[in-house]
Amino acid sequence: MKRLCAILLLVGLIAGSAFATNTWEYYTGNWSDPGGWSEGRAPSGEEEVKIKKSDSVCTLNTSTGDWGVGQRLRVYEEATLLIEDGAELLGAGWMRVGATNPGTVIQSAGLVQLTAGKDDAKLGIGDQAGSDGFYTISGGTLTYSGDGGNLLIGARGGQGTFTVIDTDPLIQMNRLFVGDGAGASGTLEYQIGSGGVSPISLADSANLDPEGDDTTALLVLSLIAAPPADTDILLIDGTAVGQFDAVNGGSAAEGALVTLDFGGTDYYYSLTYADSVALQWVPEPSMLALLGLGSLIAVVRRRRKN
């Protein structure tokens, strides 16, 4: 009988360890602040990490945020995670932004590196039916090591938005899914600067609107400065399967004309999925039929008449 009790106790301890969590809720402060965590200390890498509840803001900077073998990190229920200069967010498993309720991650610098654990190394944004997830990256590195390395924008029926700002970020993933699972809606947004924008570099492929009528994949483009003249703009560096449902609310078919405005000037591009997803510059539309050139490789600017 004693032996049986000892075995049951051991099993209970193992199970408890496997599902141990460290939760940040109703708190604003730095990841390293022990007062923000339910365990009275920053995550050790052994627990599942939850950042949750409205008015919860966790800032990771000048330190390592380790969720190691804890399987999952969740940012949800209206919480926000800020990743800033000096930060290293290292995890072995599944990072979920927006699960059940909205969640937001804003990365302006630092390193986020996913490694396969019990769950594949993956980042799910809007990662559950009825949830919204938002991930904005304007600097730093988002990457993975080993197996996995999938970026899911709108997953398992959720709604996700991944926003890339300017050219400072480095984004390296294995595969990209925009709209993953029936009912999912994914929005990939680029805010393009004077040097273009950082592409999502893939070791494998991008899957856009993989389930057709059951999923939605949207592309949103805007200019935050006059774009580079006579230059294509690469958006996804990797083979794309499928296509977006719409770009800025209009057609997103191969060769669709995309007009972007900055400071009263229109810039014209053609959307292409050949080998990668990119914007190719074109002459202003009124010249296309005359020249018979279709999509070219330059940007023509036309000052709007007021």
Whole-model pTM over 0.75: yes
Identify the pLDDT of residue 10. 40
Identify the pLDDT of residue 61. 95
Residues in the chain: 306
| 170-206 tens-digit pLDDT | 999 999 999 988 889 999 999 999 999 999 999 999 9
H-run or E-run covering 67: strand 64-76
Least confident of 98-102, 256-260, 276-280: 98-102
Least confident of 94-103, 117-126, 286-295: 286-295
Least confident of 8-22, 24-38, 51-65: 8-22
Q: Which has more pLDDT, 1 or 225?
A: 225
Q: For the chain, give the mean pLDDT.
A: 87
What's the token pair of residue 40?
């009275």
Asked if pLDDT for residue 279 goes beyond 80, the answer is yes
Q: Which of 268, 182, 166, 276 is nearest to 225 (CA)?
A: 166
What's the token pair of residue 171?
């984004």
DSSP 290: H
Task: Show me where the domains of the chain are located.
Answer: 2-303
Asked if pLDDT for residue 291 goes beyond 50, the answer is no
Are the CB atoms for 19 and 48 separated by under 8 Å?
Answer: yes
| 48-95 tens-digit pLDDT | 999 999 989 999 998 888 877 667 899 999 999 999 999 999 988 899
Are the CB atoms for 165 and 134 separated by under 8 Å?
Answer: no
